[in-house]
Structure 1
């Protein structure tokens, strides 16, 4: 696969991951009171600090994914964040209703899979279609 094709695929992967986080940040911001109530019901500590932090992580993470800025660090941060949200937000082991538990299991493992995608970005970097790619030093050799 050529570098241009690889960069295009990495760009599409970044955008696909970003959509989830940008949408999430927007919905949490628009329904802020409900979001805070959800965090409180989940037993998240320091909700007055956690709620805006979550929105900031999702918003900035989504923007950085789209533009390809500091993707190795962003990938690692969002992988950790996504695993944490799986554990705190999709705790299927505490759900007694069978239908709801199945739904929570799916969402839990979906988050783990998304974290895997972020770990891949941590290793591959942003690709050529990115701020990181534009800032990378170029050698005079063309292979």
Structure 2
């Protein structure tokens, strides 16, 4: 079972690590998008999200306080979901559909991150991790 959990952690983390890379290599484009969405301090927000995605992704991948990493991802994803993908404000049907897809994807990832947080904080023997949880069973 430990190997399955590790494979799941690897697959889950790939999204966040590649997204973090995008936040750092495409900062200007993402800043423009955030600015168009009305996000305050768009450049700082883009870079901060990149840092959280990198740290959270590495935390889950390596099993270093993976509960904290999962929680950081959940908080960042929820704010991204609500602030960046407000499909209900779109008038163009194609743009509305695209934002709704991103909204639902980020909402599902928020849920998955919260489940991982609970899993890492609750399970006594995590297996194939570097550290145990930072938080104990809630």
**TM-score bin, normalised by smaller chain:** 0.7 to 0.9
**Aligned residue in 1 for 2:39:** 44
What is the aligned residue count? 130
Taking structure 2 as the reference length, the TM-score comes to 0.84
| RMSD of aligned Cα (Å) | 2.0
- Kept in 1, the 8 Å contact 2:55–2:69? The answer is no
Residue 94 of structure 2: which of 99, 119, 123 is its match?
99
In structure 2, what is the Cα distance between the partners aligned to 1:32 and 1:51? 7
In structure 1, what is the Cα distance between the partners aligned to 2:8 and 2:112? 8
Deviation string 1:52-102 (CA, Å, 9 cap, x unpaired) is 211111111111121011111221221111111111121101111112212
Which protein has the larger Cα radius of gyration, Structure 1 or Structure 2? Answer: 1
- Secondary structure (helix, strand or coil) at the match of 1:96 reads coil
> Quick one: higher RCO (CA 8 Å, sep 6+), 1 or 2?
1
**Aligned residue in 2 for 1:65:** 60
**Aligned residue in 2 for 1:130:** 129
Unaligned runs of at least 5 residues, structure 1: 134-143
Equivalent runs, 1:54-93 vs 2, <5 Å: 54-93=49-88
Deviation (angstroms), 1:120: 1.2
Taking structure 1 as the reference length, the TM-score comes to 0.82
1:109 counterpart = 2:104 = yes
- Kept in 1, the 8 Å contact 2:27–2:43? The answer is no
Unaligned runs of at least 5 residues, structure 2: 133-138
In structure 1, what is the Cα distance between the partners aligned to 2:33 and 2:97? 20
